[in-house]
Amino acid sequence: MKPYSVLLYYIYSPIENLVEYRDIHHQYCIDNHLLGRIIVASEGLNGTVSGLKEDCEKYMTWVKSDPRFAAVDFKVESHDEIAFKKLYVRIKKEIVHSELPVDPTVKTGKHLEPAEFKQMLNDPDVVLVDMRSNYEHKVGKFKGAVTFDMENLRELPEHIDEIAHLKDKKIITYCTGGIKCEKASAYLLDNGFDNVYQLHGGIIKYGLEEGGENFYGKCYVFDGRLVTDVNSVNPEIISTCHICGTLSDRMVNCANPECNEHLPICEKCGEEMEGACSDACKSHPKKRPYNGTGYYMRNPEGYKPEIAFRTRKNTKKIHIVEELGIGK
């Protein structure tokens, strides 16, 4: 049995005491040996956390003990080691950066549990729409899904015309853990799509509960694994190595931090290129040492972990300004 867990979760539930709650949450993770990335916003929580199984179990119980987050749905995967190198608990304006003018607590697409989603895949009137970034669906996606060449969810309004002809279809949106679809499906509803659904819990939950059938490739994840297996029924590799063109579902972040492209690169080319995606990146003076994984943690701009442990001499407003990097 693998000794570590990787947790993926989100919940839209109002948080008023942002700084106080961020500090408490940060300290709890440190005290219980948990690493990962957690976003705290006025609209709720979004987290990916990793640690020993028993510590993750305690964490899930602790989060749910707060009435605001009692309904949170954790996706739990097993892993051989801890999936992060650092801990970030940050205050942000949104738990997923979208800038879409919607509120998923007011209106969102109908949630489909994995079993319901699997059954609807056989409906000829259904169209799957991938709401993830281009580098994510490059390494794995559902068979026949519509994908957009977008870097992030903020760009969705620029691509909505690509599916305008599908307004009479049953649209099912999906993403890694479900969080993007809460706002993306709401945005589709606001733009004339009447039959909009979303895969509750995303690709990860579908893999855990229904075996991931018809999801081809691997699922990109935002931790040290970079990708994770989903399909245990009819798996298939769909991506090719950026360097040599052979089939490969091994993702790498380019070792040149000024590039940092997310690309499939096979193990052989990864070693030969020292984790870089091109000769120019390989010779770049800022190239990071390649450790064989192609995973690099970047310090978010404006984030200062020590803020969580300062004596409270400053106002909450000052704390938030520092955290968000406003004015820098």
Cβ contacts of residue 183 below 8 Å, gap of 6+? 96, 98, 100, 102, 104, 108, 153
d(CA 221, CA 175): 11
Determine the residue type at 8: L
DSSP E strand boundaries for the chain? 4-12, 35-41, 44-52, 75-79, 87-91, 110-112, 126-130, 140-142, 170-174, 196-199, 215-217, 219-220, 227-228, 251-253, 262-264
Residues 6+ apart with CB under 8 A from 165: none
261-269 contact pairs (CB < 8 A, 24+): 261/135, 262/135, 262/136, 262/220, 263/135, 264/138, 264/139, 264/239, 264/240, 265/241, 265/294, 266/241, 268/244, 269/241, 269/242, 269/243, 269/244
Q: What type of residue is 97?
A: H
The residue assigned the tokens 């040290």 is 224
Question: Percent helix, strand, coil in the chain (nearest 5)?
Answer: 30, 20, 50
Contact 52, 29 (CB under 8 A): no
Residue 175 a catalytic site member: yes
Q: Which of 56, 175, 254, 281 is catalytic?
A: 175
**Residues of 225-260 as b/e, b for ≥16 C-beta within 10 angstroms?**
bbbbbbbeeebebbbbbbbeeeebbbbbbbbbeebe
Give the residue numbers marked as catalytic.
175
